[in-house]
Chain A
Amino acid sequence: MRTMADGLHAVHLRREELLGAHAFAIHRRTDRLFAGLLAFQWAAGILAALVISPHTWIGAASQTHLHVYAAVLLGALISGPPIALAIFCPGRTLTRHSIALGQAATSALLIHLSGGRIETHFHVFGSLAFLAFYRDWRVIMTATAVVAADHLLRGVFWPQSVFGVLTTSHWRWAEHAGWVVFEDIFLIHSCIQARREMVQFADQRAALEFTKAGIEEEVEKRTAQLMTANAELEHNIAERVRATEERERLELQLQSAQKLEAVGQLAAGIAHEINTPTQYVGDNTRFLKECFEEIGGLLGAYDRLAKEAADGSVQAGTLADVERAVEEADPEYLRYEIPKAIDQSLEGVGRVSSIVRAMKEFSHPGVEEMTSIDLNNAIRSTATVCRNEWKYCAELELDLDAELPQVPCLPGEVNQVFLNIIVNAAHAIADRNGGDPDELGRIRVSSRQDGECVEVRIEDTGGGIPEDVRSRIFDPFFTTKGVGKGTGQGLAIAHSVIVKKHRGSIAVECEDGVGSTFFVRLPLVQREGDETPCQLEEAA
Chain B
Amino acid sequence: MSPLHESRLLHFLFVFWLVLLAAGFSYVVDYEFQPAELREPPPDLPAEYPRAADEELHLLLLFAHPKCPCTRATVEELNRLMTACVERVEARVHFFRPRDAADGWEHTDLFRAAESIPGVTALVDPGGEIAQRFGASTSGEVYLYSPAGELRFRGGITASRGHAGDNVGRHTIVELVRGGVAERDETPVFGCRLLDDCGGA
Interface residues of A (CB under 8 A from B): 52-62, 65-67, 70, 73-74, 77-78, 81, 85, 89, 94, 98, 101, 105, 108-109, 112, 115-118, 154, 158, 160-161, 163-166
Bound Cα distance A164, B76 (Å): 14
Question: Using a Cβ cutoff of 8 Å, how many contacts connect chains A and B?
Answer: 121
Bound Cα distance A98, B166 (Å): 32
Bound Cα distance A53, B192 (Å): 11
Bound Cα distance A455, B107 (Å): 132
On whether the beta carbons of A59 and B96 are closer than 8 Å, the reply is yes
On whether the beta carbons of B196 and A59 are closer than 8 Å, the reply is yes
Name the residue of chain B whose CB is nearest to the CB of A55. B67
8 pairs, A vs B, C-beta closer than 8 Å: A56-B68, A57-B65, A59-B128, A60-B100, A73-B24, A81-B14, A112-B28, A160-B159
Task: Select B29's contact among A77, A85, A154, A163, beta carbons within 8 Å.
Answer: A154
On whether the beta carbons of A118 and B24 are closer than 8 Å, the reply is no
On whether the beta carbons of A53 and B159 are closer than 8 Å, the reply is no
Task: Select A74's contact among B24, B33, B160, B167, beta carbons within 8 Å.
Answer: B24
Q: Is B146 an interface residue (CB 8 A)?
A: no
Per-position 1/0 for B158-201, Cβ under 8 A of A? 11101111111001000000000000000000001111100011
User: Smallest CB–CB gap between A69 and chain B, Å?
Assistant: 9
Task: Select A116's contact among B18, B162, B171, B193, beta carbons within 8 Å.
Answer: B162
Q: Taking A66-B31, A115-B69, A115-B162 as given, write out 9 further A-B residue pairs in contact, using a Cβ cutoff of 8 Å, ordered by the A residue number.
A: A52-B69, A59-B194, A65-B69, A94-B7, A94-B14, A116-B158, A116-B159, A161-B29, A163-B159
Q: Is B115 an interface residue (CB 8 A)?
A: no
| Among A57, A58, A78, A81: residue with most chain B CB under 10 A | A57
Q: Is B41 an interface residue (CB 8 A)?
A: no
Give the residues in chain A near B67, CB-CB below 8 Å. Answer: 55, 57, 62
On whether the beta carbons of A56 and B192 are closer than 8 Å, the reply is yes
On whether the beta carbons of A61 and B196 are closer than 8 Å, the reply is yes
On whether the beta carbons of B195 and A59 are closer than 8 Å, the reply is yes
User: Smallest CB–CB gap between A163 and chain B, Å?
Assistant: 7
Q: Is B84 an interface residue (CB 8 A)?
A: no
On whether the beta carbons of B163 and A161 are closer than 8 Å, the reply is yes
On whether the beta carbons of A59 and B193 are closer than 8 Å, the reply is yes
Bound Cα distance A31, B18 (Å): 19
Bound Cα distance A61, B98 (Å): 10
User: Smallest CB–CB gap between A70 and chain B, Å?
Assistant: 5
Task: Select A59's contact among B29, B73, B159, B201, beta carbons within 8 Å.
Answer: B201
Give the residues in chain A near B112, CB-CB below 8 Å. Answer: none
Bound Cα distance A67, B162 (Å): 11
| Among A54, A56, A74, A98: residue with most chain B CB under 10 A | A56
On whether the beta carbons of A81 and B25 are closer than 8 Å, the reply is no
Give the residues in chain A near B196, CB-CB below 8 Å. Answer: 58-61
Name the residue of chain A whose CB is nearest to the CB of B128. A59
On whether the beta carbons of A164 and B24 are closer than 8 Å, the reply is no
Task: Select A94's contact among B11, B18, B32, B166, beta carbons within 8 Å.
Answer: B11
On whether the beta carbons of B28 and A166 are closer than 8 Å, the reply is no
Name the residue of chain B whose CB is nearest to the CB of A57. B192
| Among A53, A115, A161: residue with most chain B CB under 10 A | A115
The 10 closest A-B pairs by CB, nearest first: A53-B69, A164-B166, A116-B163, A60-B98, A160-B159, A115-B162, A57-B192, A59-B196, A164-B159, A164-B167
User: Smallest CB–CB gap between B98 and chain A, Å?
Assistant: 4
Give the residues in chain A near B20, CB-CB below 8 Å. Answer: 77
